[in-house]
A and B are shown apart, each in its own frame.
Chain A
Amino acid sequence: MRYLPLSDADRAEMLRVVGAGSIDDLFVDVPEAARLSGKIEGLPDHASELAVERELGALARANMVAGEVPFFLGCGAYRHHIPASVDHLIQRGEFLTSYTPYQPEIAQGTLQALFEFQTQVARLYGCDVANASMYDGSTACWEAIVMARRITRRGTALLSGGLHPHYVSVAKTMARFTGDALRYEPPTLSAETDFAALEVDGETSCVVVQYPDILGRIADMSALAERCHAAGALLIAVVTEPVALGAIMSPGEMGADIVVGEGQSIGVGLNFGGPYVGLFATREKYVRQMPGRLAGETVDAEGKRGFVLTLSTREQHIRREKATSNICTNSGLCALAFTIHMTLLGEKGLRELAEVNHRKAVGAAERLAKVPGVTLVNDVFFNEFTLRLPKEARPVVRALAEQRILAGVSLGRLYPGEASLENGLVVAVTETTSEADVAVFASALEKVLA
């Protein structure tokens, strides 16, 4: 077996040193009835590298690859071009095969990269501090709600209709067990967000808004932030498309107290939904209420600058049941990919990337809105917008998929049973979308709707 270095001679010699007659002697504590004498039934034996590659390759080929077809899906996961050097660097064994940097003297690479990551995220979000990552945007969103409860000592969270329905679903699942009250109504198929309808009062711990939201709409949250603060509540902003922040103001600039989101767009591929990287940032005064790991600057015994994991008295391995969260392993390597990609982009590159995304999306929206019967729901958007089709969008998406066009996300898929949303189609356009893709999509859509 190519991954197991011990030879039979080694095993025999080591058993002798250990004082065991056979390997079975080392498993004596296992109750007799639970010992398996042979191999587990129905499972094949080991296989060569070539055989495994062939077997898994066959499964891979059974999927429609986004990069091989006109592709317009978003809604929390976006297809961006990732520079080749990003994937090369994260595969260096010193990053890939290292552990959580609990021994800082021999983990400065990971720690410094995390410090850079935290700074990039904080600046992008317009916040004072950011942590070293969460699992993904949806879990970061729930952790932000928990944090707001801890800070305000109030138990009611208002979720805006524009929040990703899966994020809502995660929060609802958790709230059922923790006793938090959530108020939420699905969005309407209109250009207007529901901020005015959010009734912030003395029991509200936080208001959660997505920016840009699930339909791609963008709205100024400054007034909402003021309303929250006047009522003693926190404003949580969720960003599922970080590239947008190269073009539009950050939530922090508009008064959001906690900003969380999905970082996948920068450096991490689609990967069928994971692993991704949750981003989490807030105000300095709330740092001790944050979940997750934090890298911090310090000095070593010779006075050299170095980095360590810090403020760990918030965390489970120290505080156990009193920790701010149970999170342990986070998304370190994806955070590294984010940081490397962001360093390659820099401010200039991020702004250009955002501009290309926005302009291509505008062009696509105008083209698709010309398809007979199709209207553009929101004319304010970044790189993702919602179309109202003259009929239910879900079968249209399926019909286009049969023609090898991945046309976007139907709201029927995201909001099953919501009849008022079923004609909605959310379309994302990035720098990877070509003019030809848009043309093919538009003409196929026209035929399917005819």
Chain B
Amino acid sequence: MTTNPSGWRPTAPDAADEAPATFTGNRALMLEEPLIFEIGDSETTGVDFEGVAQEVTIGHRAFEHDEDFYKDRLAGLQRKRPIGLPGLSEPETVRHYTRLSRQNYAIDLGLFPLGSCTMKHNPRLNEKVARMPGFADIHPLQPTDTVQGAFALIHRLGEWLVKLTGMHSVAMSPKAGAHGELCGLLAIRSALEARGDAREVILVPESAHGTNPATAAFAGYRVENIPATAAGRVDLEALKSRLGPDVAGVMITNPNTCGLFEPEMTAISEAVHAAGGLVYCDGANFNAIVGRVRPGDLGIDAMHINLHKTFSTPHGGGGPGAGPVVFSEALTPFAPLPFVEKQGDYFVLVEEETAGEHHGRCFGRMTAFHGQMGMFTRALSYILSHGADGLRQVAEDAVLNANYVLRSLEDVLDAPFGASGPCMHEALFSDKGFGGGLTTLDLAKGLIDEGFHPMTMYFPLVVHGAMLVEPTETESKAALDQFIGALRSVAERAKAGDEALKAAPVYAPRRRLDETLAARKPVLVYKE
């Protein structure tokens, strides 16, 4: 495959502006779509019900439509004013949301190189499995005898996660990565309190995801930063000098957000443990090492796993995710409720009632029910499909793809840590050398015109104008070559100070949006 199969190139970046105006504002397949509040009304519905406006015969007698009856049973609180919810018929609804969908970029459309987000292909088998009535149509409070298959699935996925990470146990209920971080920190705090050694500070590297310090604060800790070395790693000496009796632990991302493995991870863990603290690992980047490295072998006490990253459950435009947390032996007694325990051939649900002496030290409950079951089914489907051999290959291909991008572009884009050796699953570049006042943002928007979702921008904060590219393992070499060609072209324009980049994107459904206006005068709901 060539990287530009049609061979056609636009004559000028603003060619679209010369196109004739249309009556509708549409441009062929690029369709404008109003809000439902502008096209729907309160009298239209796309759902038919049996027995409405007639008589409803349920139970032992028939009910006439009877306002008094309605009032009696509802304490006189029945709705008196319109709610303001517009309705559409089914064909209008399908068209509205289909049209909206076409204004989105997606993995199904192309490479999605968003660093630290692991936008890999979402196998459709997983969607099919999650919709089996035996998983999708069961209630979380059904008697446990009637949901043994569901518990078996949760247990089996948990076993995989424990073995893949080399840890001791797993808490399945956290709803997403940040919720998992919270789970891990609460377990750490509980363990320290249990030994009568409450501590106040969590150390977080400068390059950490924003969720790390936010989570530590949410869990009641004070946050302090650990500096990075010039090679993009945690500064071990600085860390050691800060450790002390007030430090509860550290939150490390490994591989880190510069896309690098922390080679001194074991030494970091030993130092933290020696000072009486515990080690949390942000598992957002587990995709780089799954099947090749077990975090348990690095002295880690707790790590969340984003099932929506490493194990391919769909991101869905911002969730739902799932963030199971694996624990070391030291933290296992403090894992939250509820969890599933296998006793012989039977699966027991351990809840507040049954925790008893056996699990008396668990720190509590993080969510109403058992966690993201719909994500567990998808993740297990993915894991069984790959198997131990396939998962190892996942990490290898993800790392190979990222290094291929790094080495194919380091002549044109500054790679701040390129000289320090291979990267893991993501390649980091900076805006060094851009001309004409052009920025990382301009390059990113230029990439949109090339038909790609931009990489993660301005993160990690430790690199100026950072661009973090994570191609993942589900990209073919041809797709990578096309992406590399596109990024090279836009990078060359940025270095040459091509003014036109400041106006990018020009081919997307929208030009650059005014975010300052949105924040200064927030319009968060539709107003007639």
Contact B132 A56 (CB under 8 A): yes
Q: Across the interface, do A348 and B59 meet the contact criterion of CB distance under 8 Å?
A: no
Nearest neighbor of A400 in chain B, beta-carbon distance: B143
Interface pair B367/A170, CB less than 8 Å apart: yes
The answer to whether the Cβ of B81 comes within 8 Å of any Cβ in the partner chain is: yes
Task: Looking at the assembled complex, report how far the CB atom of A301 sits from the nearest CB atom of chain B, in whole angstroms.
Answer: 4
CB distance from A175 to the nearest CB of B (A): 10
A109 contacts B101, C-beta separation under 8 Å: yes
Q: State the CA gap A376–B80 with chains docked (Å).
A: 27
Q: Which residues of A contact B306 (CB under 8 A)?
A: 329
* Cβ contacts under 8 Å, B76 to chain A: 220
- Report the minimal beta-carbon distance from B31 to chain A, rounded to whole angstroms: 11
Mind listing 27 A-B residue pairs with CB under 8 Å?
A: A34-B298, A43-B388, A44-B387, A53-B128, A63-B134, A63-B148, A67-B137, A77-B141, A90-B316, A93-B107, A94-B108, A97-B108, A99-B317, A100-B315, A105-B505, A113-B97, A220-B75, A272-B147, A274-B175, A275-B320, A296-B523, A299-B514, A344-B45, A346-B41, A348-B43, A402-B145, A431-B49
A19 to B400, CA, bound (A): 11
**Assuming A1-B390, A107-B104, A346-B85, what are 19 further A-B pairs, CB within 8 angstroms?**
A1-B389, A6-B401, A56-B132, A59-B134, A83-B90, A95-B317, A139-B367, A169-B364, A173-B363, A298-B514, A301-B513, A306-B510, A326-B182, A332-B318, A345-B47, A346-B45, A347-B82, A401-B142, A435-B57
Whether A29 contacts B77 by the Cβ 8 Å rule is no
Scan A255-281; emit 1 where CB is below 8 A from any B CB, else 0: 000000010000001111111010000
Q: Which residues of A contact B114 (CB under 8 A)?
A: 99
Is A36's beta carbon under 8 Å from chain B?
yes
CB contact under 8 A between A271 and B518, given known A11-B400, A30-B292, A36-B293: no
Q: Tell me whether A107 and B317 are in contact (CB under 8 A).
A: yes
| 9 tightest A-B CB contacts, nearest first | A346-B87, A273-B369, A60-B134, A173-B364, A363-B59, A333-B316, A62-B149, A93-B108, A273-B140
Q: Check if A348 sits within 8 Å of B44, measured CB to CB.
A: yes
A348: chain B residues within 8 A (beta carbon): 42-45, 87
Q: Which A residues are CB-close (under 8 A) to B216? A: 321
A residues within 8 A CB of B186?
173, 177
Contact B508 A105 (CB under 8 A): yes
A367 near B134 with CB under 8 A, answer no
CB distance from B181 to the nearest CB of A (A): 7
Q: How far is the CB of B443 from chain A (nearest CB, A)?
A: 13
* B121 cross-chain contacts in A, Cβ below 8 A: 3
Once bound together, how far apart are the Cα atoms of A275 and B315, in whole Å?
Answer: 12
Q: Which of these binds chain A: B239-247, B473-481, B485-493?
A: B473-481
Rounded to whole angstroms, the CA-CA distance of A173 and B174 in the bound complex is 14
Interchain nearest-CB distance for B271 vs A (Å): 15
How long is the Cα–Cα vector from A94 to B384 in the complex, in angstroms?
A: 26
**CB distance B74 to A271 under 8 Å?**
no
Whether the Cβ atoms of B138 and A46 lie closer than 8 Å is no
CB distance from B293 to the nearest CB of A (A): 5
Which residues in A have their C-beta under 8 angstroms from that of B289? 30
Within 8 A of B (CB), among A77-128: 77, 79, 83, 85, 87-101, 103-110, 112-116, 118-120, 122-124, 128
A50-70: which residues lie under 8 A (CB-CB) from chain B?
Answer: 51-53, 55-68
Query: Are A218 and B75 interface neighbours, CB within 8 A?
Result: yes
B47 x A46 contact (CB < 8 A): no
CA A11 – CA B386 in complex, angstroms? 18
Stretch from B2-10, B206-214, B272-280, B429-437 contacting the other chain: B206-214
Cα distance A273–B136 when bound, in Å? Answer: 9
Closest to B174 in A: A135
Known: A59-B149, A274-B320. A349 touches B47 (CB 8 A): yes
CB of A42 to closest CB in B, whole Å:
6
Number of B residues with CB within 8 Å of any CB on chain A = 212
Candidates B33, B109, B123, B320; contact of A333 at CB < 8 Å: B320
Provide the B364-394 mask, 1 if CB < 8 A to any CB of A, else 0. 1111111111110100110011111110111
Is the Cβ of A301 less than 8 Å from the Cβ of B512?
yes
Contact with A along B148-176 (1 / 0, CB 8 A): 11101100100010011000000000011
**B-binding segment of A151-159, A181-189, A194-202, A311-319:** A311-319
Chain A residue with the shortest CB-CB distance to B123: A3
Which partner residue on chain B sits nearest A313 by CB separation? B519
A203 in the interface (beta carbon within 8 A):
no
- A141's closest neighbor in chain B, by CB? B368
Distance A248 CA – B265 CA, assembled complex (angstroms): 57
- CA gap between A287 and B524 in the complex, in Å: 10
Question: Contacts A105-B445, A270-B137 hold; do A364 and B59 have CB atoms under 8 A apart?
Answer: yes
CA distance A370 to B218 in the complex (A): 50
Given that A62-B149, A299-B514, A332-B320 are known contacts, is A85 also in contact with B93, CB under 8 Å in the complex?
Answer: yes
Residues of B within 8 A of A325 (CB): 214, 218
Partner of B315, one of A97, A248, A366: A97
Q: Would you call B178 and A328 a contact (CB within 8 A)? A: yes
Q: What distance in Å separates the Cβ of A238 from its nearest Cβ neighbour in chain B?
A: 11
**CB of A406 within 8 A of chain B?**
yes
- Contact between chains at A93 and B106 (CB < 8 Å): yes
CB of B315 within 8 A of CB of A129, answer: no
B408 at the interface (CB under 8 A from A): yes
Query: Smallest CB-CB separation from B454: which chain A residue?
Result: A103
Q: Which residues of A contact B123 (CB under 8 A)?
A: 3
Kindly report which residue of chain A lies nearest to residue B152, judged by CB atoms: A59
Among the listed A76, A123, A170, A295, which residue makes an inter-chain contact with B524, where contact means beta carbons less than 8 Å apart?
Answer: A295
Give chain B residues whose Cβ lies under 8 Å from the Cβ of A421. Answer: none
B494 at the interface (CB under 8 A from A): no
User: Which chain B residue lies CB-closest to A9?
Assistant: B477
Is B483 interfacial (CB 8 A cutoff)? Answer: no
Known contacts A92-B101, A363-B59; is-contact A326 B336 (Cβ 8 Å):
no
Q: Is A450 an interface residue (CB 8 A)?
A: no
With contact pairs A95-B316, A105-B510, A248-B74 given, residues A170 and B57 touching in the complex (Cβ less than 8 Å) = no
- Complex CA–CA separation, A359 to B62 (angstroms): 10
Report if A336-B317 is in contact (Cβ < 8 Å); known contacts: A85-B94, A363-B58: yes
Would you call B512 and A89 a contact (CB within 8 A)? no
Contact B219 A124 (CB under 8 A): no
- CB atoms of A42 and B133 under 8 A apart: no
Task: Tell whether B411 is near chain A: CB-to-CB under 8 Å.
Answer: no
Is A89 a contact partner of B146 (Cβ separation < 8 A)?
Answer: no
Interchain CB contact under 8 A, A26 and B422? yes
Known interface pairs A89-B98, A358-B74; A306-B369 also in contact (CB < 8 Å): no
- B207-263 contacts to A (CB < 8 Å): 209-211, 213-220, 223, 260-263
Is B177 a contact of A367 with CB atoms below 8 Å? no
CB <8 Å contact, A30 and B78: no
Whether A293 contacts B318 by the Cβ 8 Å rule is yes
Is A73 close to B, CB under 8 A? yes
Of the candidates A133, A328, A362, the one whose C-beta lies within 8 Å of that of B73 is: A362
B389 partner, pick from A39, A49, A433, beta carbons under 8 A? A39
Given A164-B368, A347-B87, A363-B56, the answer on whether A98 and B104 have CB atoms closer than 8 Å is: yes
B28 interface hit (Cβ, 8 Å): no
B368 / chain A contacts, CB cutoff of 8 Å: 76, 136-138, 164, 166-167, 170, 262, 273
